[in-house]
Amino acid sequence: MTPSERVLLEDLLAYTEESFPNLLPFRTLALAGDNELRLQRRMMALMREATGLAEEVRPRPPAGAEAMTDKRPGTKTTQRIAILREGEGFALRTWPTEQKRQALTLYPGDGAQRLLELLAAEPEKWSARPNPHLAFRFSTFDQRLYMHCQLDLAEYVRRWAEEDLERVGAYAPDTVKVELWPWLKERGYAGAEDDQYLDDYLHGLGHRDAHLRPGLEVLRLWPWPDAVELDDRRLLTAEIKDAVTEILTALQEPLPPACQVEVQSSS
């Protein structure tokens, strides 16, 4: 197959998957097998159907998809929701408060408390962890410094909500090591094991401002065999849709179109 033929085939598969996903030979997780490209295509089809956000769904390598929820009017606290294959699990993840404006909305408002209530009410389904990190504008995942937070989730949320939110924002590069870093360790947002990574982060930072992000990571996990069975029975889309609805409702975020239809039809 020539390069131009491969491009045409990829375009045809992408169009078919978006418009007629049930026609493809790898229309389920089981049929996709362990092929990463086929799994990613199936994940994208699942996410498009579960959210109705066809234009906002993009690949998340190596075998996942994410919907960019921040493209919708009224979104304030989380940028994206992803579905991924993680070892022997099928994961749905979202990362609230990755940006300053998101943190300034979630922590002082009701969203953080409602999230904690969801986690407490359904611990068999949902989990979350602190995800504080240092970044810079347009930084990629591998250019950020993700810290080993010493706090449990409830205390982490309380501190940002009540005491430390004014610290969120940009820092001149020459202040990070002498001012910000000691404070992060004193407050439990960073651990001693993170010291070894600080210089590498600063080297990549250069003359740009460092951004302190008081992130969270929220997870819903299914065993992979359960997800495969649900997909074979055409029930996995509904599971994803319910999970997206549940977490965005807790965060007080607008629901994507497919989830709105589900809520209206059940009321």
Q: What is the dihedral of CA 41, 46, 47, 48, to 10 degrees?
A: 90
State the pLDDT at residue 264.
59
**DSSP bridge partners of 220:** 92, 126
CA distance between the termini of the chain: 52
In angstroms, rounded to a whole number, what is the distance separating the alpha carbons of residues 238 and 49?
9
Q: Could you state, in chain order, the average pLDDT of each consecutive group of 10 residues for the chain (267 residues)?
A: 58 59 70 90 94 93 92 90 96 95 93 94 97 95 96 96 95 97 98 96 97 98 97 97 97 93 60
**DSSP bridge partners of 168:** none
State the pLDDT at residue 109.
87
State the pLDDT at residue 23.
54
Tell me which DSSP letter residue 1 carries.
-
State the pLDDT at residue 265.
61
Residue 134, H or E segment: strand 126-135
Residue 175, H or E segment: helix 173-175
The closest of 133, 246, 254 to 197, measured between CA atoms, is 133
Could you tell me the pTM of the whole model? Answer: 0.86
In angstroms, rounded to a whole number, what is the distance separating the alpha carbons of residues 173 and 159?
25
State the pLDDT at residue 202.
97
In angstroms, rounded to a whole number, what is the distance separating the alpha carbons of residues 155 and 178?
25
In this structure, the number of other CB atoms found within 10 A of the CB of residue 230 comes to 19
The closest of 1, 224, 256, 216 to 106, measured between CA atoms, is 216
**DSSP bridge partners of 146:** 133
